[in-house]
Structure 1
Amino acid sequence: MDAVFSAPWRPGKHPANTMRLLSAITFLMLFSTAFGAGAAPLPAPHQVDIPLSGGTLHAQLYKPDGNGPFPVVIALHGCGGLAGHSEPVLSRYRDWAEQLLKVGNAVLLPDSYGSRDLGPQCRVKERERRVLARRQRVDDIMASRQWLVQQPWAAHDRISLLGWSNGASALLWAVRPQSSSRSVEPDFRSAVAFYPDCRVSAGLGWSARIPTLLLIGAKDDVSSPPACRQMIDGARGRSALTRIVVYPGAYHDFDRANLPPQAIAGTPDAALPEGGHLGTDPEARADSQKLVAEWLAR
Protein backbone atom coordinates (compact mmCIF):
# COMPACT_ATOMS: atom_id res chain seq x y z
CA MET A 1 0.00 0.00 0.00
CA ASP A 2 1.53 3.30 -1.12
CA ALA A 3 0.65 6.24 1.08
CA VAL A 4 1.46 9.92 0.93
CA PHE A 5 3.20 11.10 4.09
CA SER A 6 3.70 14.57 5.51
CA ALA A 7 5.94 15.42 8.47
CA PRO A 8 6.98 11.76 8.83
CA TRP A 9 7.93 10.31 12.19
CA ARG A 10 11.20 8.42 12.17
CA PRO A 11 12.91 6.93 15.22
CA GLY A 12 16.34 8.38 15.81
CA LYS A 13 19.51 6.98 17.36
CA HIS A 14 18.95 8.45 20.80
CA PRO A 15 18.43 5.75 23.46
CA ALA A 16 15.03 7.21 24.37
CA ASN A 17 13.95 6.87 20.74
CA THR A 18 15.21 3.30 20.69
CA MET A 19 13.18 2.46 23.79
CA ARG A 20 10.07 4.00 22.24
CA LEU A 21 10.67 1.98 19.06
CA LEU A 22 10.98 -1.24 21.05
CA SER A 23 7.80 -0.35 22.90
CA ALA A 24 6.00 0.21 19.60
CA ILE A 25 7.26 -3.12 18.21
CA THR A 26 6.06 -4.95 21.30
CA PHE A 27 2.70 -3.21 21.07
CA LEU A 28 2.38 -4.17 17.39
CA MET A 29 3.11 -7.82 18.15
CA LEU A 30 0.39 -7.83 20.78
CA PHE A 31 -1.95 -5.92 18.47
CA SER A 32 -1.44 -8.46 15.69
CA THR A 33 -2.23 -11.27 18.09
CA ALA A 34 -5.45 -9.52 19.05
CA PHE A 35 -6.55 -9.54 15.41
CA GLY A 36 -6.01 -13.30 15.11
CA ALA A 37 -8.84 -15.67 14.34
CA GLY A 38 -10.55 -17.48 17.14
CA ALA A 39 -10.19 -14.73 19.74
CA ALA A 40 -12.87 -14.97 22.40
CA PRO A 41 -15.51 -12.23 22.28
CA LEU A 42 -15.11 -9.54 24.89
CA PRO A 43 -17.77 -8.55 27.40
CA ALA A 44 -20.05 -5.61 26.72
CA PRO A 45 -18.95 -2.19 27.91
CA HIS A 46 -20.64 -0.55 30.87
CA GLN A 47 -22.06 2.94 31.01
CA VAL A 48 -20.45 5.64 33.11
CA ASP A 49 -21.87 9.08 33.83
CA ILE A 50 -19.50 12.03 33.60
CA PRO A 51 -20.32 15.43 35.14
CA LEU A 52 -20.78 18.05 32.45
CA SER A 53 -21.63 21.70 32.80
CA GLY A 54 -25.39 21.83 32.51
CA GLY A 55 -25.94 18.09 32.45
CA THR A 56 -24.44 14.61 32.37
CA LEU A 57 -22.31 13.04 29.67
CA HIS A 58 -23.05 9.34 29.24
CA ALA A 59 -20.16 7.22 28.00
CA GLN A 60 -19.45 3.55 27.36
CA LEU A 61 -16.32 2.16 29.02
CA TYR A 62 -14.24 -0.86 28.08
CA LYS A 63 -11.68 -1.57 30.80
CA PRO A 64 -9.21 -4.44 31.23
CA ASP A 65 -9.53 -6.61 34.31
CA GLY A 66 -7.38 -5.55 37.21
CA ASN A 67 -6.43 -2.38 39.02
CA GLY A 68 -4.22 -0.78 36.38
CA PRO A 69 -3.11 1.84 35.83
CA PHE A 70 -4.08 1.39 32.18
CA PRO A 71 -3.46 3.69 29.21
CA VAL A 72 -6.78 5.13 28.05
CA VAL A 73 -8.12 6.06 24.63
CA ILE A 74 -11.03 8.51 24.46
CA ALA A 75 -12.80 7.45 21.24
CA LEU A 76 -15.05 10.01 19.53
CA HIS A 77 -17.89 8.86 17.28
CA GLY A 78 -18.83 10.39 13.94
CA CYS A 79 -21.96 12.32 12.95
CA GLY A 80 -24.07 9.14 12.92
CA GLY A 81 -23.76 8.82 16.70
CA LEU A 82 -22.38 6.17 19.03
CA ALA A 83 -25.28 3.78 19.58
CA GLY A 84 -27.47 1.64 17.33
CA HIS A 85 -31.12 0.68 17.72
CA SER A 86 -30.33 -2.22 20.04
CA GLU A 87 -26.66 -1.76 20.94
CA PRO A 88 -24.88 0.83 23.08
CA VAL A 89 -21.90 0.98 20.69
CA LEU A 90 -22.12 0.57 16.92
CA SER A 91 -20.03 -2.28 15.55
CA ARG A 92 -17.60 0.06 13.76
CA TYR A 93 -16.55 1.61 17.10
CA ARG A 94 -16.86 -1.60 19.07
CA ASP A 95 -14.44 -3.22 16.63
CA TRP A 96 -11.76 -0.64 17.39
CA ALA A 97 -12.54 -0.52 21.11
CA GLU A 98 -12.29 -4.27 21.53
CA GLN A 99 -9.03 -4.45 19.61
CA LEU A 100 -7.49 -1.73 21.76
CA LEU A 101 -8.79 -3.36 24.92
CA LYS A 102 -7.17 -6.67 24.03
CA VAL A 103 -3.74 -5.06 24.11
CA GLY A 104 -4.23 -3.41 27.48
CA ASN A 105 -5.95 -0.11 26.81
CA ALA A 106 -9.08 1.12 28.48
CA VAL A 107 -11.41 2.79 25.96
CA LEU A 108 -13.92 5.49 26.85
CA LEU A 109 -16.57 6.35 24.25
CA PRO A 110 -18.52 9.53 25.13
CA ASP A 111 -22.02 9.72 23.62
CA SER A 112 -22.21 13.36 22.60
CA TYR A 113 -25.63 13.08 20.96
CA GLY A 114 -27.52 10.57 23.09
CA SER A 115 -26.47 12.43 26.24
CA ARG A 116 -28.34 15.46 24.87
CA ASP A 117 -31.36 13.42 23.72
CA LEU A 118 -30.42 13.95 20.09
CA GLY A 119 -30.11 11.55 17.19
CA PRO A 120 -27.64 11.59 14.28
CA GLN A 121 -26.26 14.98 13.31
CA CYS A 122 -25.14 14.27 9.75
CA ARG A 123 -28.03 16.11 8.11
CA VAL A 124 -29.07 18.57 10.80
CA LYS A 125 -30.09 21.94 9.38
CA GLU A 126 -28.92 25.34 10.59
CA ARG A 127 -32.07 26.09 12.61
CA GLU A 128 -32.27 22.67 14.29
CA ARG A 129 -30.59 21.70 17.57
CA ARG A 130 -26.98 20.91 16.86
CA VAL A 131 -23.96 19.68 18.74
CA LEU A 132 -20.99 21.65 17.45
CA ALA A 133 -17.64 19.91 17.09
CA ARG A 134 -15.71 23.00 18.16
CA ARG A 135 -17.86 23.68 21.23
CA GLN A 136 -19.99 21.00 22.88
CA ARG A 137 -17.87 18.12 21.63
CA VAL A 138 -14.68 19.77 22.87
CA ASP A 139 -16.46 20.24 26.20
CA ASP A 140 -17.17 16.49 26.19
CA ILE A 141 -13.51 15.72 25.53
CA MET A 142 -12.32 17.91 28.37
CA ALA A 143 -14.95 16.55 30.76
CA SER A 144 -13.89 13.02 29.87
CA ARG A 145 -10.26 13.81 30.66
CA GLN A 146 -11.26 15.48 33.93
CA TRP A 147 -13.18 12.34 34.91
CA LEU A 148 -10.36 10.00 33.89
CA VAL A 149 -7.68 11.74 35.94
CA GLN A 150 -9.86 11.07 38.98
CA GLN A 151 -9.93 7.32 38.31
CA PRO A 152 -7.23 5.29 40.11
CA TRP A 153 -7.17 2.66 37.34
CA ALA A 154 -6.30 5.20 34.61
CA ALA A 155 -2.69 6.05 33.68
CA HIS A 156 -3.09 9.81 33.84
CA ASP A 157 -0.05 10.48 31.65
CA ARG A 158 -1.23 8.11 28.89
CA ILE A 159 -4.66 9.41 27.90
CA SER A 160 -4.97 9.68 24.11
CA LEU A 161 -7.66 10.74 21.64
CA LEU A 162 -9.04 8.79 18.66
CA GLY A 163 -11.83 10.21 16.49
CA TRP A 164 -13.74 9.62 13.28
CA SER A 165 -15.26 12.24 10.96
CA ASN A 166 -17.14 14.73 13.16
CA GLY A 167 -15.41 13.29 16.23
CA ALA A 168 -12.07 13.76 14.49
CA SER A 169 -13.00 17.38 13.72
CA ALA A 170 -13.71 17.91 17.43
CA LEU A 171 -10.33 16.34 18.18
CA LEU A 172 -8.60 18.89 15.94
CA TRP A 173 -10.15 21.70 17.97
CA ALA A 174 -9.29 20.03 21.27
CA VAL A 175 -5.56 19.65 20.52
CA ARG A 176 -4.98 23.25 19.48
CA PRO A 177 -2.74 25.22 21.86
CA GLN A 178 -5.63 27.61 22.53
CA SER A 179 -7.76 24.74 23.90
CA SER A 180 -5.31 23.66 26.59
CA SER A 181 -6.86 23.32 30.05
CA ARG A 182 -4.25 23.95 32.74
CA SER A 183 -6.66 22.83 35.45
CA VAL A 184 -6.23 19.20 34.33
CA GLU A 185 -2.70 17.84 34.08
CA PRO A 186 -0.95 16.09 32.47
CA ASP A 187 -2.09 16.80 28.91
CA PHE A 188 -3.25 14.20 26.41
CA ARG A 189 -0.51 11.86 25.26
CA SER A 190 -1.33 11.79 21.53
CA ALA A 191 -4.20 11.96 19.04
CA VAL A 192 -5.36 10.14 15.89
CA ALA A 193 -7.96 11.70 13.56
CA PHE A 194 -9.72 9.64 10.86
CA TYR A 195 -10.96 11.76 7.92
CA PRO A 196 -11.96 14.99 9.72
CA ASP A 197 -13.36 18.03 7.95
CA CYS A 198 -10.25 20.23 7.85
CA ARG A 199 -11.65 23.11 5.81
CA VAL A 200 -12.24 25.53 8.68
CA SER A 201 -9.08 24.59 10.58
CA ALA A 202 -6.94 24.94 7.44
CA GLY A 203 -7.97 28.58 7.15
CA LEU A 204 -7.30 29.37 10.82
CA GLY A 205 -3.61 28.55 11.02
CA TRP A 206 -4.18 25.29 12.88
CA SER A 207 -1.44 23.70 14.97
CA ALA A 208 -1.34 21.02 17.67
CA ARG A 209 0.18 20.97 21.14
CA ILE A 210 0.40 17.14 21.21
CA PRO A 211 1.53 14.60 18.56
CA THR A 212 -1.34 14.24 16.09
CA LEU A 213 -1.78 11.72 13.25
CA LEU A 214 -4.35 12.31 10.50
CA LEU A 215 -5.56 9.47 8.25
CA ILE A 216 -7.71 10.07 5.16
CA GLY A 217 -8.47 8.56 1.76
CA ALA A 218 -7.46 10.34 -1.44
CA LYS A 219 -10.98 9.80 -2.84
CA ASP A 220 -12.74 11.07 0.27
CA ASP A 221 -15.46 13.35 -1.10
CA VAL A 222 -17.20 13.77 2.26
CA SER A 223 -14.20 15.40 3.91
CA SER A 224 -11.46 17.23 1.99
CA PRO A 225 -8.01 15.62 1.61
CA PRO A 226 -6.49 18.80 0.07
CA ALA A 227 -7.67 20.90 3.02
CA CYS A 228 -6.22 18.37 5.48
CA ARG A 229 -2.88 18.40 3.69
CA GLN A 230 -2.88 22.20 3.68
CA MET A 231 -3.66 22.22 7.39
CA ILE A 232 -0.87 19.77 8.30
CA ASP A 233 1.68 21.42 5.99
CA GLY A 234 0.81 24.81 7.45
CA ALA A 235 1.54 23.58 10.98
CA ARG A 236 5.16 22.71 10.23
CA GLY A 237 7.68 24.52 12.39
CA ARG A 238 5.16 25.83 14.94
CA SER A 239 3.46 22.69 16.16
CA ALA A 240 3.99 19.47 18.03
CA LEU A 241 4.67 16.49 15.80
CA THR A 242 2.01 16.14 13.10
CA ARG A 243 1.71 13.58 10.33
CA ILE A 244 -0.80 12.97 7.55
CA VAL A 245 -1.31 9.74 5.62
CA VAL A 246 -3.39 9.90 2.44
CA TYR A 247 -4.44 6.49 1.09
CA PRO A 248 -4.71 6.34 -2.72
CA GLY A 249 -8.09 5.04 -3.87
CA ALA A 250 -9.69 5.06 -0.41
CA TYR A 251 -13.05 6.67 0.37
CA HIS A 252 -14.57 7.99 3.59
CA ASP A 253 -15.00 5.26 6.25
CA PHE A 254 -12.18 3.22 4.69
CA ASP A 255 -11.38 1.61 8.07
CA ARG A 256 -14.92 0.34 8.61
CA ALA A 257 -15.19 -3.43 8.16
CA ASN A 258 -17.36 -5.07 5.50
CA LEU A 259 -18.77 -1.94 3.90
CA PRO A 260 -18.78 -2.24 0.08
CA PRO A 261 -17.91 1.08 -1.60
CA GLN A 262 -21.11 2.95 -2.34
CA ALA A 263 -22.53 6.36 -3.19
CA ILE A 264 -24.50 8.09 -0.45
CA ALA A 265 -26.69 10.23 -2.72
CA GLY A 266 -30.37 9.36 -2.50
CA THR A 267 -30.15 7.27 0.67
CA PRO A 268 -32.66 8.35 3.36
CA ASP A 269 -30.45 7.28 6.29
CA ALA A 270 -30.09 10.28 8.62
CA ALA A 271 -26.93 8.71 10.08
CA LEU A 272 -25.10 9.23 6.78
CA PRO A 273 -23.82 12.45 5.18
CA GLU A 274 -25.95 13.88 2.39
CA GLY A 275 -23.48 13.17 -0.39
CA GLY A 276 -20.20 11.51 -1.34
CA HIS A 277 -19.00 7.93 -1.13
CA LEU A 278 -18.28 5.46 1.67
CA GLY A 279 -16.57 2.10 1.72
CA THR A 280 -13.99 -0.24 3.15
CA ASP A 281 -10.51 -0.24 1.67
CA PRO A 282 -8.90 -3.45 3.01
CA GLU A 283 -5.31 -2.32 2.48
CA ALA A 284 -5.86 1.14 3.96
CA ARG A 285 -7.80 -0.41 6.86
CA ALA A 286 -4.96 -2.82 7.67
CA ASP A 287 -2.29 -0.14 7.37
CA SER A 288 -4.23 2.29 9.54
CA GLN A 289 -4.53 -0.36 12.26
CA LYS A 290 -0.75 -0.67 12.32
CA LEU A 291 -0.21 3.09 12.33
CA VAL A 292 -2.67 3.66 15.16
CA ALA A 293 -0.93 0.96 17.20
CA GLU A 294 2.46 2.61 16.59
CA TRP A 295 1.19 6.08 17.39
CA LEU A 296 -0.48 5.11 20.65
CA ALA A 297 2.61 3.15 21.76
CA ARG A 298 4.97 6.12 21.31
Structure 2
Amino acid sequence: MHLFQHLRRGHLWLCMGLGLGASALAQTVVEHLPGAEGLALKVWVFHPAQHSPDTQRPVVVALHGCGGMYATVGSRKGQLSARHQGMTNLLLAQGYSVVWPDSLTPRQETSLCEQSMASRQVRQSHRRSDVHTTLAWLGQQAWTDPQRVALLGWSHGGSAVLASSDSRQKLPQPSVTPDIALAFYPGCSDALRRTYQAAWPVHLLLAGADDWTPAAPCVALAQKAGMSFKLYPDSHHGFDNPEGQVKHLPRVPNGQNPGMGVHAGRNPVTGPQAWQDVLEMLKKRWPDPVAH
Protein backbone atom coordinates (compact mmCIF):
# COMPACT_ATOMS: atom_id res chain seq x y z
CA MET A 1 0.00 0.00 0.00
CA HIS A 2 1.27 3.48 -0.83
CA LEU A 3 2.54 5.41 2.19
CA PHE A 4 0.03 8.19 1.62
CA GLN A 5 -2.80 5.67 1.97
CA HIS A 6 -1.37 4.71 5.33
CA LEU A 7 -1.19 8.36 6.26
CA ARG A 8 -4.80 8.98 5.20
CA ARG A 9 -5.93 6.13 7.41
CA GLY A 10 -3.91 7.36 10.36
CA HIS A 11 -1.69 4.28 10.60
CA LEU A 12 1.52 6.22 10.34
CA TRP A 13 0.52 8.61 13.12
CA LEU A 14 0.10 5.59 15.39
CA CYS A 15 3.19 3.66 14.34
CA MET A 16 5.69 6.48 13.93
CA GLY A 17 4.22 9.62 15.40
CA LEU A 18 2.73 8.69 18.74
CA GLY A 19 2.57 4.96 19.30
CA LEU A 20 6.33 4.56 19.77
CA GLY A 21 8.55 6.62 22.02
CA ALA A 22 11.82 8.03 20.79
CA SER A 23 13.78 5.27 22.54
CA ALA A 24 12.07 2.64 20.37
CA LEU A 25 13.46 4.20 17.22
CA ALA A 26 16.55 6.14 18.17
CA GLN A 27 19.50 6.85 20.36
CA THR A 28 18.93 10.26 21.95
CA VAL A 29 21.64 12.67 23.11
CA VAL A 30 21.43 16.16 24.58
CA GLU A 31 24.32 18.47 23.74
CA HIS A 32 25.18 21.98 24.91
CA LEU A 33 26.96 23.90 22.17
CA PRO A 34 28.90 27.14 22.68
CA GLY A 35 26.77 29.71 20.91
CA ALA A 36 26.94 33.44 20.33
CA GLU A 37 27.30 35.85 23.27
CA GLY A 38 28.20 33.05 25.69
CA LEU A 39 24.96 31.14 25.19
CA ALA A 40 25.02 27.39 25.85
CA LEU A 41 22.71 26.24 23.06
CA LYS A 42 20.77 23.13 24.07
CA VAL A 43 20.48 20.66 21.19
CA TRP A 44 18.56 17.39 21.14
CA VAL A 45 20.09 14.79 18.81
CA PHE A 46 18.20 11.69 17.63
CA HIS A 47 20.07 8.96 15.78
CA PRO A 48 18.41 6.09 13.88
CA ALA A 49 18.99 2.87 15.77
CA GLN A 50 19.79 0.89 12.61
CA HIS A 51 23.09 2.72 11.95
CA SER A 52 26.44 2.34 13.70
CA PRO A 53 27.54 5.51 15.53
CA ASP A 54 30.02 6.74 12.91
CA THR A 55 28.10 5.79 9.77
CA GLN A 56 27.65 8.93 7.70
CA ARG A 57 23.99 9.71 7.11
CA PRO A 58 21.72 12.61 6.12
CA VAL A 59 20.82 15.00 8.90
CA VAL A 60 17.68 17.11 9.32
CA VAL A 61 18.03 20.19 11.51
CA ALA A 62 14.51 20.81 12.83
CA LEU A 63 13.43 24.26 14.03
CA HIS A 64 10.53 24.68 16.46
CA GLY A 65 7.90 27.38 16.31
CA CYS A 66 7.02 30.17 18.75
CA GLY A 67 5.68 27.66 21.28
CA GLY A 68 9.02 25.91 21.66
CA MET A 69 9.93 22.25 21.33
CA TYR A 70 8.15 20.66 24.24
CA ALA A 71 4.72 19.46 25.27
CA THR A 72 3.46 21.67 28.09
CA VAL A 73 0.67 19.51 29.54
CA GLY A 74 -0.20 15.86 29.98
CA SER A 75 1.99 12.78 30.13
CA ARG A 76 4.39 14.17 27.52
CA LYS A 77 5.12 17.38 29.44
CA GLY A 78 8.80 18.30 29.04
CA GLN A 79 9.28 15.92 26.10
CA LEU A 80 9.06 16.79 22.42
CA SER A 81 5.54 17.81 21.45
CA ALA A 82 3.40 15.37 19.50
CA ARG A 83 4.13 17.08 16.18
CA HIS A 84 7.86 17.29 16.83
CA GLN A 85 8.14 13.72 18.08
CA GLY A 86 5.96 12.44 15.24
CA MET A 87 8.09 14.06 12.55
CA THR A 88 11.28 13.00 14.33
CA ASN A 89 10.19 9.36 14.38
CA LEU A 90 9.12 9.54 10.75
CA LEU A 91 12.54 10.85 9.70
CA LEU A 92 14.39 8.34 11.89
CA ALA A 93 12.54 5.51 10.16
CA GLN A 94 14.01 6.77 6.86
CA GLY A 95 17.55 6.55 8.25
CA TYR A 96 18.08 10.26 8.97
CA SER A 97 19.50 11.76 12.13
CA VAL A 98 17.41 14.63 13.51
CA VAL A 99 18.82 17.58 15.44
CA TRP A 100 16.62 20.03 17.38
CA PRO A 101 18.23 23.28 18.58
CA ASP A 102 16.24 24.72 21.51
CA SER A 103 16.24 28.48 20.93
CA LEU A 104 13.95 29.35 23.86
CA THR A 105 14.79 27.72 27.18
CA PRO A 106 18.51 28.68 27.10
CA ARG A 107 17.23 32.28 26.78
CA GLN A 108 14.81 31.86 29.70
CA GLU A 109 11.72 31.70 27.48
CA THR A 110 9.09 28.99 27.10
CA SER A 111 6.83 30.55 24.45
CA LEU A 112 6.76 33.63 22.23
CA CYS A 113 3.29 33.07 20.80
CA GLU A 114 1.44 35.55 23.00
CA GLN A 115 4.15 38.21 22.82
CA SER A 116 3.87 41.07 20.37
CA MET A 117 6.53 41.21 17.69
CA ALA A 118 7.95 44.40 19.17
CA SER A 119 8.32 42.94 22.67
CA ARG A 120 10.01 39.67 21.73
CA GLN A 121 13.50 39.23 23.11
CA VAL A 122 14.19 36.16 20.94
CA ARG A 123 14.42 37.39 17.38
CA GLN A 124 15.21 35.88 14.01
CA SER A 125 18.82 37.01 14.38
CA HIS A 126 19.04 34.67 17.39
CA ARG A 127 17.44 31.81 15.48
CA ARG A 128 19.84 32.36 12.58
CA SER A 129 22.78 32.29 15.00
CA ASP A 130 21.50 29.03 16.50
CA VAL A 131 21.24 27.46 13.06
CA HIS A 132 24.81 28.46 12.22
CA THR A 133 26.08 27.17 15.60
CA THR A 134 24.35 23.83 14.95
CA LEU A 135 25.67 23.56 11.39
CA ALA A 136 29.22 24.31 12.56
CA TRP A 137 28.92 21.58 15.19
CA LEU A 138 27.53 19.11 12.64
CA GLY A 139 30.62 19.71 10.52
CA GLN A 140 32.70 18.21 13.34
CA GLN A 141 30.64 15.02 13.73
CA ALA A 142 31.78 11.80 12.06
CA TRP A 143 28.18 10.72 11.45
CA THR A 144 27.23 13.85 9.47
CA ASP A 145 27.14 13.52 5.72
CA PRO A 146 28.08 17.13 4.94
CA GLN A 147 26.53 16.93 1.48
CA ARG A 148 23.13 15.87 2.84
CA VAL A 149 21.90 18.28 5.49
CA ALA A 150 18.41 19.79 5.48
CA LEU A 151 16.63 22.51 7.45
CA LEU A 152 13.01 21.90 8.41
CA GLY A 153 11.08 24.55 10.32
CA TRP A 154 7.56 25.37 11.50
CA SER A 155 6.08 28.88 11.83
CA HIS A 156 8.67 30.93 13.76
CA GLY A 157 11.09 28.13 12.88
CA GLY A 158 9.96 28.37 9.26
CA SER A 159 10.84 32.05 9.38
CA ALA A 160 14.19 30.97 10.82
CA VAL A 161 14.67 28.84 7.71
CA LEU A 162 14.22 31.98 5.63
CA ALA A 163 16.46 34.08 7.87
CA SER A 164 19.19 31.43 7.74
CA SER A 165 19.03 30.88 3.99
CA ASP A 166 19.05 34.53 2.89
CA SER A 167 22.17 34.99 0.76
CA ARG A 168 22.01 38.73 1.37
CA GLN A 169 22.96 38.19 5.01
CA LYS A 170 26.73 38.52 5.06
CA LEU A 171 27.60 35.98 7.73
CA PRO A 172 30.55 33.59 8.09
CA GLN A 173 29.55 30.35 6.41
CA PRO A 174 29.88 27.14 8.47
CA SER A 175 31.69 24.16 6.98
CA VAL A 176 28.32 22.44 6.48
CA THR A 177 25.57 24.19 4.54
CA PRO A 178 22.08 22.80 3.90
CA ASP A 179 21.36 20.97 0.69
CA ILE A 180 17.63 21.78 0.96
CA ALA A 181 15.34 23.72 3.30
CA LEU A 182 11.64 23.16 4.00
CA ALA A 183 9.46 25.67 5.83
CA PHE A 184 5.94 25.09 7.13
CA TYR A 185 3.77 28.25 7.18
CA PRO A 186 6.55 30.78 7.87
CA GLY A 187 6.02 34.49 8.25
CA CYS A 188 7.19 35.86 4.91
CA SER A 189 6.47 39.59 5.07
CA ASP A 190 9.90 40.59 6.40
CA ALA A 191 11.72 38.46 3.82
CA LEU A 192 9.55 39.95 1.09
CA ARG A 193 10.48 43.47 2.19
CA ARG A 194 14.19 42.57 2.39
CA THR A 195 14.36 41.36 -1.22
CA TYR A 196 15.27 37.91 0.06
CA GLN A 197 17.46 35.66 -2.07
CA ALA A 198 17.68 31.93 -1.32
CA ALA A 199 21.19 30.58 -0.84
CA TRP A 200 20.02 27.00 -1.43
CA PRO A 201 16.78 25.31 -2.59
CA VAL A 202 13.85 26.28 -0.35
CA HIS A 203 10.34 24.81 -0.46
CA LEU A 204 7.39 26.36 1.40
CA LEU A 205 4.45 24.32 2.75
CA LEU A 206 1.62 26.83 3.18
CA ALA A 207 -1.81 26.75 4.78
CA GLY A 208 -4.55 28.13 2.55
CA ALA A 209 -6.73 29.34 5.46
CA ASP A 210 -3.87 30.63 7.63
CA ASP A 211 -4.80 33.82 9.52
CA TRP A 212 -1.64 33.78 11.69
CA THR A 213 1.09 33.82 9.04
CA PRO A 214 -0.96 34.26 5.86
CA ALA A 215 0.04 32.39 2.74
CA ALA A 216 -0.23 35.33 0.32
CA PRO A 217 3.10 37.00 1.22
CA CYS A 218 4.81 33.61 1.01
CA VAL A 219 3.38 32.94 -2.43
CA ALA A 220 4.60 36.36 -3.54
CA LEU A 221 8.02 35.70 -2.01
CA ALA A 222 8.31 32.28 -3.65
CA GLN A 223 7.42 33.69 -7.04
CA LYS A 224 9.80 36.61 -6.65
CA ALA A 225 12.72 34.57 -5.29
CA GLY A 226 12.25 31.50 -7.48
CA MET A 227 11.34 29.14 -4.65
CA SER A 228 8.94 26.22 -4.88
CA PHE A 229 5.82 26.07 -2.72
CA LYS A 230 2.65 24.09 -2.15
CA LEU A 231 -0.60 25.57 -0.86
CA TYR A 232 -2.76 23.16 1.16
CA PRO A 233 -6.46 24.13 0.90
CA ASP A 234 -8.85 24.40 3.85
CA SER A 235 -5.87 24.33 6.20
CA HIS A 236 -5.06 26.55 9.17
CA HIS A 237 -1.78 27.32 10.85
CA GLY A 238 -0.45 24.12 12.44
CA PHE A 239 -2.50 21.93 10.07
CA ASP A 240 0.09 19.13 10.22
CA ASN A 241 -0.25 18.59 13.97
CA PRO A 242 -1.13 14.90 14.44
CA GLU A 243 -3.25 15.70 17.50
CA GLY A 244 -6.10 18.04 18.35
CA GLN A 245 -8.39 20.15 16.23
CA VAL A 246 -8.66 23.71 14.96
CA LYS A 247 -8.98 26.21 17.82
CA HIS A 248 -9.34 29.96 18.13
CA LEU A 249 -6.41 31.46 20.05
CA PRO A 250 -7.67 34.87 21.20
CA ARG A 251 -4.51 35.86 23.09
CA VAL A 252 -2.17 35.75 20.09
CA PRO A 253 -1.58 39.43 19.23
CA ASN A 254 0.09 38.91 15.88
CA GLY A 255 -1.70 37.76 12.79
CA GLN A 256 -3.76 38.83 9.84
CA ASN A 257 -6.37 40.51 12.08
CA PRO A 258 -4.54 42.10 15.05
CA GLY A 259 -6.56 42.03 18.25
CA MET A 260 -8.88 39.29 17.03
CA GLY A 261 -6.66 36.29 17.68
CA VAL A 262 -5.84 33.51 15.24
CA HIS A 263 -6.89 29.97 14.38
CA ALA A 264 -4.60 26.96 14.47
CA GLY A 265 -4.98 23.21 14.37
CA ARG A 266 -4.99 19.89 12.63
CA ASN A 267 -6.37 19.05 9.22
CA PRO A 268 -6.63 15.22 9.11
CA VAL A 269 -6.29 15.14 5.30
CA THR A 270 -3.76 17.80 4.34
CA GLY A 271 -1.57 17.34 7.43
CA PRO A 272 -0.58 13.75 6.60
CA GLN A 273 -0.29 14.73 2.94
CA ALA A 274 2.22 17.45 3.83
CA TRP A 275 4.32 15.02 5.87
CA GLN A 276 4.31 12.62 2.95
CA ASP A 277 5.41 15.50 0.72
CA VAL A 278 8.33 16.20 3.05
CA LEU A 279 9.44 12.56 2.85
CA GLU A 280 9.16 12.52 -0.93
CA MET A 281 11.17 15.72 -1.35
CA LEU A 282 13.94 14.41 0.88
CA LYS A 283 13.87 11.00 -0.82
CA LYS A 284 14.16 12.67 -4.21
CA ARG A 285 17.13 14.67 -2.95
CA TRP A 286 18.74 11.74 -1.12
CA PRO A 287 17.74 8.41 -2.75
CA ASP A 288 19.77 6.29 -0.29
CA PRO A 289 19.97 7.37 3.36
CA VAL A 290 23.32 5.62 3.98
CA ALA A 291 25.27 5.17 0.74
CA HIS A 292 26.52 8.36 -0.86
TM-score (structure 2 length as normaliser): 0.81
Contact 1:60 1:89 in 2 (8 A): no
Aligned length: 260
Name the amino acid aligned to 2:216: P
Matched with 1:109 is 100
Residue among 2, 8, 12 paired with 1:35: 12
Contact 1:213 1:295 in 2 (8 A): no
Q: Does 1:45 align with 2:28?
A: yes
Shift of 1:180: 6.5
Aligned mates of 1:151, 1:207 — CA distance in 2: 29
Shift of 1:129: 5.5
Contact 1:174 1:180 in 2 (8 A): no
1:1-298 correspondence to structure 2 within 5 Å: 35=12, 40-43=20-23, 45-53=28-36, 54-65=38-49, 66=52, 67-85=54-72, 86-125=77-116, 128=119, 130-133=121-124, 135-179=125-169, 183-236=173-226, 242-265=227-250, 275-297=261-283, 298=285
Name the amino acid aligned to 2:182: V
Name which structure has the greater RCO, CA cutoff 8 Å, separation 6+: 1
Shift of 1:37: 5.6
Shift of 1:127: 6.8
Instruction: Describe the superposition over 1:12-51 as per-residue Cα deviations: whole angstroms up to 9, x where unpaired.
Output: xxxxxxxxxxxxxx9x79x98x938656543173311111
Aligned mates of 1:290, 1:36 — CA distance in 2: 12
- For residue 198 of structure 2, give the secondary structure of its aligned residue in structure 1: coil
Shift of 1:196: 0.5
Shift of 1:125: 4.2
Shift of 1:126: 6.1
Shift of 1:128: 4.7
Q: Which runs of 5+ in 2 are unaligned?
A: 286-292
Name the amino acid aligned to 2:148: R
Structure 1: 4+ residue segments shifted above 4 A: 36-40, 125-129, 180-183
Alignment identity in percent?
Answer: 28
Aligned mates of 1:159, 1:128 — CA distance in 2: 33
Aligned mates of 1:267, 1:121 — CA distance in 2: 9
Aligned mates of 1:38, 1:119 — CA distance in 2: 29
Contact 2:33 2:40 in 1 (8 A): yes
Shift of 1:267: 8.3
Shift of 1:258: 2.3
CA RMSD of aligned residues (A): 2.6
Contact 1:255 1:284 in 2 (8 A): yes
Instruction: Describe the superposition over 1:175-227 as per-residue Cα deviations: whole angstroms up to 9, x where unpaired.
Output: 11124655423421100000001111112222212111101111000001110
Aligned mates of 1:167, 1:98 — CA distance in 2: 19
Contact 2:188 2:221 in 1 (8 A): yes
Aligned mates of 1:64, 1:231 — CA distance in 2: 35
- For residue 119 of structure 1, give the secondary structure of its aligned residue in structure 2: coil
Contact 1:169 1:198 in 2 (8 A): yes
Aligned mates of 1:283, 1:266 — CA distance in 2: 27
